[in-house]
Structure 1
Amino acid sequence: MRIRNIDKNISDDLLQVYKVFRAAYAVEAEILDVPPTSFFPLTLTLEDLEKSEDEIFGIEVDGTLAGAIFLEKSNHTITISSLVVDPKYFRKGLGKSLINYVLQKYRTMNFLAGTGSKNIPAIKLYEKFGFQATSEETVEPSIRRVNLKRLARDH
């Protein structure tokens, strides 16, 4: 496994991230019981990802991009705007590795994340890293999102 920064100027990198993004969110749409055509992440285009100001780190397995984490930075806070793993690699520790990587890289920063309230595996993953639920809100007519926060640690 190798984690690396994704360069949005390299079209093949971005295309691979987009494919993983779509595959992962198709599964989340099923978990949340929403039609894929109306699930916001699945409405995003390759161009939307390219224009995004998020910093993206990808994780490779045997040279194949298998997951990515999208970070939005502001002041002393980083928001994990997306954490995606190709369904072929679910339950292999890739999401855990990506979260651990960014928590170590930016250990003096506070972190925010959000996920569908029905996405119990994602919530449990964040909780393993010290994230705590701070609120829950309706983000689409049939989707409730849990917002999570982890305060900075300087060690």
Structure 2
Amino acid sequence: MIGEINHRNKQVAQEILEIQLPAYGIEAELMDFYEIPQLHETAIDIQNSGELFVGFQEEELMGVVSYKMVDGLVDIHRLIVNPAYFRRGIGKRLLEYLLKRYKGYEFIVSTGTANKPAIALYQAFGFQEQRKVEVAPGIECTVFGLRN
């Protein structure tokens, strides 16, 4: 089931963190960059986030997408799936949910340029590369946009 989740709830924030750390750990390995901000967040940081959170949940929380709405722009901040559930379409379903919910809006998202699975997912939905940003010496993120 996909729906909004209350990240301000201590238990929910902890569940998000338990998915986030290993998911971003894999991205850090792909990028060979371990200073991804979400790798250093705590449950309290998640609770205090100004983002809106949507979760994919069956018996447990399996994936999360978070975003902010800024002047008609859906700015996706994180799309994470518990690595135990990779390759089951959870990220795809979370992205479909947002695109359907905000039909007619513009979307923006960034990911590590070395994160080929994430890039393939965004491109499959029609996201177009807008620019590359060097986040640290020799480390790039790619910014994608979509007019839905």
TM category (shorter chain) comes to over 0.9
Q: What RMSD over aligned residues (CA atoms) do the two structures have, in Å?
A: 1.1
Partner of 1:78: 74
Q: Is the 8 A contact 1:57 1:68 kept in 2?
A: yes
Paired residue for 1:117, among 113, 118, 128?
Answer: 113
Query: Helix, strand or coil for the counterpart of 2:74?
Result: strand
Paired residue for 1:87, among 60, 78, 83?
Answer: 83
Residue 69 of structure 1: how far off its partner (Å): 0.2
Matched, 1:23 2:22: yes
Query: Helix, strand or coil for the counterpart of 1:53?
Result: coil
Matched, 1:14 2:13: yes
Q: Is the 8 A contact 2:129 2:142 kept in 1?
A: yes
Per-residue CA deviation, residues 52-101 of structure 1 (Å, 9 max, x unaligned), is: 1100001013x210110011111110111100000000110000000000
Matched, 1:65 2:61: yes
TM-score by length of 2: 0.95
**Structure 2: where are the runs of 5+ without partners?**
none
Larger mean Cα displacement after TM superposition, 8-17 or 97-106: 8-17
TM-score by length of 1: 0.91
Q: Is the 8 A contact 1:6 1:14 kept in 2?
A: no
Larger mean Cα displacement after TM superposition, 19-28 or 140-149: 140-149
Taking structure 1 as reference, are residues 142 and 44 closer, same or farther at Cα in structure 2, changes over 3 Å only?
A: farther
Percent identity of equivalent pairs: 30
Question: Could you tell me how far apart the structure 1 residues matched to 2:72 and 2:8 are?
Answer: 27
Residue 43 of structure 1: how far off its partner (Å): 1.4
Question: Could you tell me how far apart the structure 2 residues matched to 1:8 and 1:89 are?
Answer: 21
Amino acid in structure 2 at the alignment position of 1:5? E
Q: Is the 8 A contact 1:114 1:147 kept in 2?
A: yes
Larger mean Cα displacement after TM superposition, 136-145 or 99-108: 136-145
Amino acid in structure 2 at the alignment position of 1:83? L
Pairs aligned (count): 148
**Structure 1: where are the runs of 5+ without partners?**
none
Q: Is the 8 A contact 2:67 2:78 kept in 1?
A: yes
Query: Helix, strand or coil for the counterpart of 1:30?
Result: helix
Q: Is the 8 A contact 1:58 1:67 kept in 2?
A: yes
Q: Is the 8 A contact 1:5 1:58 kept in 2?
A: yes
Question: Could you tell me how far apart the structure 2 residues matched to 1:64 and 1:120 are?
Answer: 27
Runs of 4+ in 1 over 4 A off after TM superposition: none
Question: Could you tell me how far apart the structure 2 residues matched to 1:21 and 1:15 are?
Answer: 10
